[in-house]
Every structure is written in C-alpha cells, then in structure tokens.
Amino acid sequence: MISFKENIISIKMLTILLFSLSFSGNLYGKTTIESRPNILFIMSDDHTSQAWGIYDGILKDYVKVDNIKRLASEGAVLDNVFCTNSICSPSRAAILTSQYSHKNKGYTLREPLQDGSKNIAGILRENGYETAVIGKWHLVKEPEGFDHYNVLPGQGVYHNPVLKSKENWQDGYKGGKKYSGFSADVITNLTIDWLSKRKEEKPFLMMTHFKATHEPFDFPQRHKDLYRNVEIPEPESLYDFSPKTTGRTFKGQKLEILGGRMVQATIDPENFWTSYPDLPFSLDGLDSIAARKKIYQKYVKDFMRCGAAIDDNIGRLLDYLEESGLAENTVVIYTADQGYFLGEHGFFDKRLIYEESLRMPFVIRYPKEIKGGTRINDIILNIDFPALMADYAGVEIPDNWQGNSFRNNLMEKTPKDWRNNMYYRYWLHRTERPGHFGIRDERYKLAFFYGQPLGMKGAMKESTIPTWEFFDLKTDPKEIRNAYNNPQYADIIQSMKNELINLRKELGDMDEQSPVMQDIFKKHWN
C-alpha cells in the first residue's frame, strides 16, 4: 500500500514534470525552465563572409580573425545562410520578426517595426528572459520588447559615439549620451557592464550589434599599421567595367563611386557627409585600371582593419563568458546583417541577389548540443534566427512567423522536409540596382529585375526595362556569365520560374495590388 507521504511526493514530482514540460519547445523536450540557455547574439554591419577567414577565398590568409576562428572551432559554421532582403534595416527587421519584408513592412531604410509587433525579444521577455540590445538599431523608432537598450542613432559614428537609452531617448538624432573610445570597444564595454549587473535568476537574451564594418570602414589606432606595406590579392572580377562583358543587365554600384567619395572627403572634409580613415586620397593622373586598383587596395585594407576591431571584441565577450562561468549554458551567435561586395564585379555595397551580397556568414557555439568544428550546408535564412532562439528558450513559435528553427540541423539531424531553395526580394529600386526578386537553390539562381519603384520610400522614380539573369553556381560560382539566354538551361529556367511562382504564392508576395507589376508579368515573364 502506498503511504500518504509517498502520494504527496508523487504528486509533487508530477507537478514539477508538467511544469517543466510546459517550457519545452523542441522535438525532444530538452528545454526546461531550469535549463534554458542564455543567448548572446552578436551581429556586425556588412562584415561579409569573404573577410571571415573561415570561408576560404582570397583574403583568408590576410584577415585578423582569431576569435571568429575560435568560435568556429568550438561550434558550428553555417555555409549557406542567406538574407531575404540585403540591406540593413530590412534584414534587422526580419531577424527580429521572423517575417519577410512584405509581411513586417520593413521594405527599405525608413520603416520602423510596426507597433506591438511580436519580435523575438518581446516574446522571450514575456517568457522569463531578461532582454537587452546595445549598439546599432537602425529601425527608426524606439526599441520595443527589451528590458534595456542603449543604441546608436541611425548609423552612429566610429569614434566617441552617442548612444540612446530609455533615460535619454529622443526620436531622430537627438538625445543620448556620448561615450569615449572606438565604437566596437564602447559597445562591448556596455555589453559586459550589463551582463555583470543582470538578474542572475533569469536567463538572458543580449543582442550586441556593432556598427563596424559599415562605410566609412574606420578602425581604432591599434590597427592603423595593419597591412601597411602589403599588397592584397584582387578578386577575379575586379576589372569588370561593363555589363557587356558578363551579360549583366544593370550598372551596379561601382568602386569609382567610393573612390569619388574618398576624394571629395579629402577636398572638402567640413561639408562631406562622412570622414574616411587615412586621408588624403587622390586619383590624379591614373587611368581606369590604376584608379580601380588603388581604390580597391585602400578599401579592402580599411575594411579588414575595421573587421579586426570586431574580432578583438568578440574575444573580449567570449573571455567574459568563460571567466564568469556562463560559457557552458550560453548560446553564442556571430553573424552579419548581410553580405557585402569587396571589389567583386567591380562593386562595393550590397543589395543584390549576387552571392557576395546575399550570403550571411554565421557561426554558433553551444557546448551542450553543438559539436566543435561542425559544418552545416543546409539553406538557412535570416527569418529562421528568431525561431531558433525561441526553440532554445522553449517558447512556442507564433503562427505568423515565416521562419523555422534549425536546432536539429545544428545537431546534424536535418529534417527530411527542410527547404532546398530560398526566395529573395530587394525593394529599394534605383536604376543602377533595380528592384528585383529571385530564387536560389543548391546549384542554380534565377533573378527577375522588374525595375519599378512601387512607391517605396527612397526609391528612384525612374524605372528600368525588366530583365532576367540566371547563373549555374557549379560551373560559374563567381556569377561572371549571365546564362539566361543559353538554350542548354531552357528547361531548368522554366522549372525555376514555376518554383518561383510557387514560393511567391506560399509566402504571400504576388504583387496582386499592383497593376504595373501584373502588366510586367504578362509581358516579360516568358
């Protein structure tokens, strides 16, 4: 016969079990209220995969990335993470809301998150996490869903930055407090300070967002001599001066524009919108080849120096976790909000469906689940990031989220129905970089440059003629030859067009309310 005392014990144990299971959000019920991990989400601006050293490429032996490599050796490197809209604000909105731009309404650089939107910080906060964001925000309005924030106004500045908190928030560029030092160092200092004072009884979500490596690619004095007398290798397509040589259907953002900005900042520093490091800069007397070479060398060296400062601070954050005993139960993610051109196709900046812009570098460490040195090839999107964090936290994913947790993928247990392609759309139309959407699978890429502003904030009103581009990433990984008109690929292209329509229907992005787009589809789809 079971005693009264044994009954009470059994009831207590059952209650504890049920309570724990209520916080389980993954397939195996591993996440309980007692075991929920902390999450340190570190993100830089434009720190493209070519400059990470863990993705091979011509810069891998030059970049200073000891701590990125440290994370990679202790966790997983993801080889196929992609952005759904390669520009700062939309990507950040997607990472917070798990929605494409047409769902969260963050199309360009000027739209805030919608009031009351269910972002990942707010959801984790409602479920017992302490949440904070420090550094770049770039989503117009005051942050929601965070217990603490201290963020840059707009892009912020590299040296002696102003950051805005609850105590001194004003819209726009007003308000805030100035801090002494280089921005990445300051943001790390503030992160460590918050972590040291947090409520230890709660798990945390800390989002540390660096301004680096955004233009003007500045760096702290400690890195000023890095690469000083070094000739950096050039990308294969650096001297692509014209779409005619590649079949490309648009002009693109050429390096000469960046070079012109550097010259102008030298000539009239008081009135130019930014200041580049290591000026003066001149292109006097140089032909087109020599000028592009000079612009590239300065640009890529400044970029890597700026990236070295990020790596320094990743190391400081990892050391803090180790010293404070938090490392074992903390998920550490380092990523960038999108990719960036480092001279490929003769370009700088991002925005395009081309690989350098589309691809997001990504490393993650979680000692309890992820084996060190793992490489994951699955197609992952930025809208998947919040779903992963929710999964770790044991929180149910909202019905209106479009992303999926890739927790099982990271443990090398990829679901059989995982995606084998992805949808991309860029909305901020300009004639040199037209509005476009497209599909990328494991080998091929098809893009439709529809070339319309569609009333987007900041878009150029002048339209362009709709065009198609297609690339075989196996035979042409650098996307140097537009193969859309190659009859060899006719059947593949038609199949991808069909799949593109299916994806657009599935995601609810059919342009049904736009007569202009419907007319373009009739005339230019086939």
With vertex at residue 75, the alpha carbon angle to CA 72 and CA 79, rounded to the nearest 5 degrees, is 60
Q: Residue 2 above 90 pLDDT?
A: no
pLDDT band at residue 376 under the 50/70/90 scheme: very high
Q: Residue 479 above 90 pLDDT?
A: yes
What pLDDT digit, counting tens, does each position of 128-164 carry? 999 999 999 999 999 999 999 999 999 999 999 999 9
**Range 322-349 average pLDDT:** 98
CA–CA dist 408, 405 (Å, integer): 8
At residue 32, the pLDDT reads 55
Q: Mind listing the domains of the chain with CATH numbers? A: 426-524 (3.30.1120.10)
Residues sharing a CB contact under 8 Å with residue 297, sequence separation 6 or more, in sequence order: 231, 232
At residue 26, the pLDDT reads 41
For the chain, what's the residue count? 526
CA–CA dist 104, 352 (Å, integer): 20
Can you give the C-alpha Rg of the chain in angstroms? Answer: 24
**Range 289-298 average pLDDT:** 98
CA–CA dist 131, 41 (Å, integer): 11
Q: What is Dmax (Cα atoms) for the chain?
A: 100
Closest alpha carbon to 437 in 497, 348, 489: 497
**Range 334-350 average pLDDT:** 98
Average pLDDT taken over every residue of the chain = 94
At residue 11, the pLDDT reads 41
**Range 28-40 average pLDDT:** 71
Task: Tell me the percentage of the chain whose pLDDT exceeds 90.
Answer: 91
Tell me phi and psi for residue 424, to 5 degrees: -130, 145
Closest alpha carbon to 62 in 348, 313, 307: 307
Q: Which residue has the higher pLDDT, 34 or 505?
A: 505
Residues sharing a CB contact under 8 Å with residue 509, sequence separation 6 or more, in sequence order: 100, 102, 423, 425, 437
CA 229 to chain centre: 32
With vertex at residue 420, the alpha carbon angle to CA 40 and CA 331, rounded to the nearest 5 degrees, is 10
Q: Residue 320 above 80 pLDDT?
A: yes
CA–CA dist 510, 450 (Å, integer): 13
CA 91 to chain centre: 6
At residue 6, the pLDDT reads 47
CA–CA dist 493, 502 (Å, integer): 14
Residues sharing a CB contact under 8 Å with residue 476, sequence separation 6 or more, in sequence order: 483
At residue 31, the pLDDT reads 53
At residue 485, the pLDDT reads 97
**Range 324-340 average pLDDT:** 98
CA–CA dist 156, 163 (Å, integer): 8
CA–CA dist 125, 128 (Å, integer): 5
Tell me phi and psi for residue 521, to 5 degrees: -60, -40
CA–CA dist 302, 255 (Å, integer): 14
Looking from the CA of 196 toward its CB, the CA atoms found within 13 Å total: 9
Residue that is written with structure tokens 């209220």 in the block: 33
Tell me phi and psi for residue 224, to 5 degrees: -65, -25
Tell me phi and psi for residue 436, to 5 degrees: -160, 160
What are the beta bridge partners of residue 436?
426
What pLDDT digit, counting tens, does each position of 192-232 carry? 999 999 999 999 999 999 999 999 999 999 999 999 999 99
Residues sharing a CB contact under 8 Å with residue 431, sequence separation 6 or more, in sequence order: 250, 251, 451, 460, 462, 464
DSSP conformation letters of 228-290: TT-PPP--TTTT---GGGTT-SS---BHHHHHHHHHHHHH-TTTSS---TT-----TT--HHH
**Range 413-428 average pLDDT:** 98
Pairing between strand 467-472 and 444-449?
antiparallel
How many helices (DSSP H) and strands (DSSP E) are in the chain?
A: 13, 18
What pLDDT digit, counting tens, does each position of 101-128 carry? 999 999 999 999 888 788 999 999 999 9
At residue 33, the pLDDT reads 57
Q: Residue 21 above 80 pLDDT?
A: no
